[in-house]
């Protein structure tokens, strides 16, 4: 609701002298569809800071009017008008279920976004997609935990449609799918940090290769000192720039050359050490090489061994490598000869830096770009700098491509994985905790499945129970097994797992078949008392498995700040899924029949 009103001093009668704003726009937003979920009143006033200051001062004076009216009416005091505390509007929105924690984080990112990619990332987090996804995962875990809880409480009393092994296997399959999705989201969180905090680019090269000149051409200003004297740059010069919508941090560093050179002093050595360290901490390493004259009229690349060593170290650490061959103005002027020479230099670069594709090697000339800019010439791409930048952006797109989109994973569309880039560092930490508990759960259940598979492969264990056999006659066939009435569980892989237990079958010594003499079952063991020892079939520790699911669900709840009623949710799953097994038994003394009352009010005779 909107209206136009004149604002006056609240403690004085309306007059021209008490008029604050003759035409303020007053907007009233009733709850709950507001930014905080509560009633909101907005005042849009005219003028500059003086008008705003006068209106704010008048609002504070409204407290005196409210107190006076309450004293006259002898009513209970109302809440006084005050300034909101820092973050109070956001806190009220959270308490009223208008925003959750991921949306609040995205709100801060929206306010701080400087580039197009940062804006898109913030929008993905603000649209509640990730929050709904976390809640869906949590509900899946609660449902799975509810099934296990029912199995714990009622497996001995009731007969389920599924066997315990089938139920656990079904839950494990669901958890395994969820585990893979969470793993992708954890990996994509690191990629999202590139968009959020900026892609670190290190300019590697020998002294006077043109690193500082390239930095100045990219940022469009003289950010670094350019000189023909070698070793001018000693410390790291970081410059932030919006490059095609991507926030980047370009680092110009000291030129790399051998410490055996007499001109290299202690300060330059420290600069070289920092340059190598900065390259290993970067996301993309741009190797700047220079063209020099070779034998005859040929050209070749000038590569210092220190540069080669640093690039190989970056490759070992998985850094993306882009090669910029500077000073292409030294190549022949004719088009055919120039292209041939450029192709030869690219081949040399590929031979030096194995694994760098041709699409990431560029021939540039900072000198031509600077001359074109200084003379005001309008050319398509002076010095081939724009081509280099487009190639750099392609590398950004490659390293920021969400995991899960490759390998024919068509379980979800592209937007599903793009939204996962919005996972923040806090969310990533909780997802890692969730993943750890899921993997513990799968370890317990998968280990049991493996044991069961090994048991099925045993030569004698055709059933889950086996009997003790004996050979009472010396003339009897030692392979003929006379079974007693003692039964116990057998397991194929004796002594493999730490959780295995053993059951002894005690019978007279003359009734025990000796497997050492007639070893047709390698899974049997005989102790000193001539007692046959079998490994009992280990059962899944369902209580521990259910607890791991509970911890995993709590980790997801910490992301959104929701999910305090987990106990009620689990009980709801139990009663919803297994309500047909919960009976109230009542004996009818008149008919000697047992009546069964289910969840409905009706009763039916079953005997």
- Same domain for 75 and 215, yes or no, is no
* Burial class of residue 10, CB neighbours in 10 A (0-12, 13-18, 19+): middle
Average pLDDT, the chain: 75
The number of folded domains in the chain is 3
Q: In this structure, is residue 502 part of a structural domain?
A: yes
Confidence of residue 370 (pLDDT cuts 50, 70, 90): confident
Domain boundary among 60, 90, 120: 90
Q: What is the mean pLDDT of residues 411-430?
A: 86
Q: In this structure, is residue 236 part of a structural domain?
A: yes
Half-sphere exposure for 328 (CA within 13 Å, toward CB): 29
Condensed to tens digits (0 to 9), the pLDDT of residues 131-177 reads 999 999 999 999 998 888 877 776 555 555 667 778 888 899 999 99
Total residue count of the chain as it appears in this document: 607
Q: In this structure, is residue 73 part of a structural domain?
A: yes
Q: In this structure, is residue 555 part of a structural domain?
A: no
Please state the pTM of the whole predicted model: 0.69
Confidence of residue 518 (pLDDT cuts 50, 70, 90): very low
d(CA 552, CA 558): 10
Its domain, for residue 530, covers 465-535
- Same domain for 361 and 262, yes or no, is yes
Buried b (16+ CB within 10 A) or exposed e, 208-221: bbbbbbbbbbbbee
**What CATH number does the domain containing 214 carry?**
3.40.50.300
Q: In this structure, is residue 601 part of a structural domain?
A: no
- Same domain for 376 and 504, yes or no, is no
pLDDT of residue 601: 37
d(CA 586, CA 581): 15
Beta bridge partners of 482: 470
Condensed to tens digits (0 to 9), the pLDDT of residues 237-265 reads 888 999 999 999 998 888 888 877 767 77
Domain boundary among 344, 365, 393: 393
- Same domain for 497 and 388, yes or no, is no
pLDDT of residue 219: 86
Contact 204, 287 (CB under 8 A): yes
Q: In this structure, is residue 218 part of a structural domain?
A: yes
571: pLDDT strictly greater than 90: no
d(CA 288, CA 208): 10
- Same domain for 380 and 470, yes or no, is no
Q: In this structure, is residue 359 part of a structural domain?
A: yes
Domain boundary among 361, 393, 425: 393
Between 253-267, 289-303, 531-545, the lowest mean confidence (pLDDT) is in 531-545
Contacts of 500-503 spanning 24+ positions with Cβ under 8 A? 500/535, 500/536, 500/538, 501/535, 501/536, 501/538, 502/533, 502/534, 502/535, 502/536, 503/534, 503/536
d(CA 432, CA 417): 18
């Amino acid at each position: 609701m909107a209206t136009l009103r004149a604002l006056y001093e609240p403690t004085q009668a309306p007059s021209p002298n008490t008029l604050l704003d003759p035409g303020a726009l007053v907007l009233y937003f009733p709850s709950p569809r507001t930014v905080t979920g509560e009633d909101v009143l907005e005042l849009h006033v005219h003028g500059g800071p003086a008008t705003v200051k006068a209106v704010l001062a008048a609002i504070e004076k409204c407290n005196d009017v409210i107190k006076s009216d309450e004293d006259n009416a002898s009513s209970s005091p109302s809440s006084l008008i005050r300034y909101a505390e820092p973050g109070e509007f956001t806190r009220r929105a959270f308490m009223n279920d208008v925003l959750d924690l991921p949306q609040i984080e995205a709100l801060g990112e929206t306010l701080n976004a400087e580039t197009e990619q940062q804006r898109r990332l913030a929008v993905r987090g603000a649209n509640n997609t990730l929050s709904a996804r976390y809640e869906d995962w949590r509900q899946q875990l609660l449902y799975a935990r509810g099934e296990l809880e029912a199995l714990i409480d009622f497996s001995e009393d009731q007969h389920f449609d599924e066997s315990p092994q089938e139920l656990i296997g079904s839950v494990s399959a669901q958890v395994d799918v969820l585990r893979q999705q969470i793993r992708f989201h954890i990996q994509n969180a690191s990629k999202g940090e590139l968009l959020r905090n900026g892609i670190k680019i290190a300019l590697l090269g020998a002294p006077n290769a043109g690193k500082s000149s390239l930095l100045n051409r990219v940022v469009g200003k003289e950010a670094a000192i350019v000189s023909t004297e070698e070793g001018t740059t000693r410390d790291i010069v970081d410059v932030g720039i919006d490059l095609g919508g991507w926030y980047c941090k370009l680092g110009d560093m000291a030129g790399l050359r051998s410490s055996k050179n007499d001109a290299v002093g202690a300060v330059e050595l420290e600069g070289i050490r920092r340059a190598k360290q900065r390259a290993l901490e970067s996301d993309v390493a741009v190797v700047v090489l220079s063209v020099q004259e070779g034998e005859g009229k040929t050209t070749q690349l000038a590569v210092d061994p220190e540069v080669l060593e640093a690039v190989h170290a970056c490759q070992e650490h998985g850094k993306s490598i882009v090669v910029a061959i500077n000073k292409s103005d030294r190549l022949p002027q004719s088009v055919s000869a120039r292209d041939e020479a450029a192709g030869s230099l690219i081949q040399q670069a590929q031979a030096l830096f194995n694994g760098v594709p041709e699409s990431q090697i560029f021939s540039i000339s900072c000198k031509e770009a600077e001359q074109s800019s200084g003379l005001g010439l309008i050319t398509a791409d002076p010095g081939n700098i724009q081509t280099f930048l487009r190639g750099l952006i392609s590398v950004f797109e490659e390293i920021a491509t969400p995991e899960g989109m490759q390998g024919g994973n068509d379980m979800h569309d592209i937007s599903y994985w793009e939204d996962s880039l919005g996972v923040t560092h806090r969310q990533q930490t909780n997802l890692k905790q969730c993943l750890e508990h899921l993997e513990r759960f799968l370890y317990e259940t998968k280990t049991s499945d493996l044991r069961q598979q090994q048991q099925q492969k045993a030569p004698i264990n055709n059933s889950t129970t086996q009997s003790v056999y004996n050979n009472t006659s010396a003339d009897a066939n030692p392979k003929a097994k006379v079974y007693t009435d003692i039964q116990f569980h057998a397991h194929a892989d004796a002594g493999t797992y730490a959780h295995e237990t053993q059951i002894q079958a005690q019978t007279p010594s003359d009734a025990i078949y000796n497997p050492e003499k007639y070893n047709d079952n390698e899974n049997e063991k005989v102790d000193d008392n001539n007692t046959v020892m079998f490994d009992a079939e280990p059962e899944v520790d369902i209580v521990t498995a259910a607890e791991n699911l509970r911890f995993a669900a709590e980790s997801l709840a910490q992301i959104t700040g929701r999910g305090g009623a987990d106990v009620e949710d689990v009980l709801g799953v139990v009663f919803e899924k297994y309500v047909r097994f919960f009976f109230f038994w009542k004996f009818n003394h008149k008919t000697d029949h047992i009546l069964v009352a289910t969840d409905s009010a009706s009763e039916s005779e079953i005997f």
